Amino acid sequence: MIDKEELLNNKDFYKSFKNGEDLTSFFKELHKKAVEHMLDAELDSHLDNSKHEKTAKGNYRNGHGTKKIKSSFGESEIKVPETEKAVLNRF
């Protein structure tokens, strides 16, 4: 697991951003990936299984759709997991 404190205190990490726009772009991508991972985790919980595992409920993953979201970082297009019986639609 990544040590968040170590990352926050890593000067080389901050040097990788040349300007404020680079940093904002990084935060936007981080936010997008976090939302996608949370939606995948929510579907894991809903189906009571992980990706590539069979489910006893007869419902299973059926790829991803896309959805546009707006946040303080602007508009992003995210991948939204879908199931055979329904699409996870929280936005």
**Is residue 30 a part of any domain in this protein?**
yes
User: What is the domain count for the chain?
Assistant: 1
**Is residue 70 a part of any domain in this protein?**
yes
**Is residue 7 a part of any domain in this protein?**
no
Work out the number of other CB atoms within 10 angstroms of the CB of residue 82: 16
**Is residue 48 a part of any domain in this protein?**
yes
**Is residue 74 a part of any domain in this protein?**
yes
Task: Please list the helix, strand and coil fractions of the chain in percent, rounded to the nearest 5, in that order.
Answer: 40, 25, 35
Per-residue pLDDT averaged across 14-34, rounded? Answer: 95
| Entry pTM | 0.75
Q: Specify whether the CB–CB gap between 39 and 82 falls below 8 A.
A: no
Question: What range defines the domain where residue 78 resides?
Answer: 19-52+61-86
What pLDDT, in 10s, does the model give residues 39-77? Answer: 988 888 877 766 666 666 667 777 888 999 999 989 999
**Is residue 28 a part of any domain in this protein?**
yes
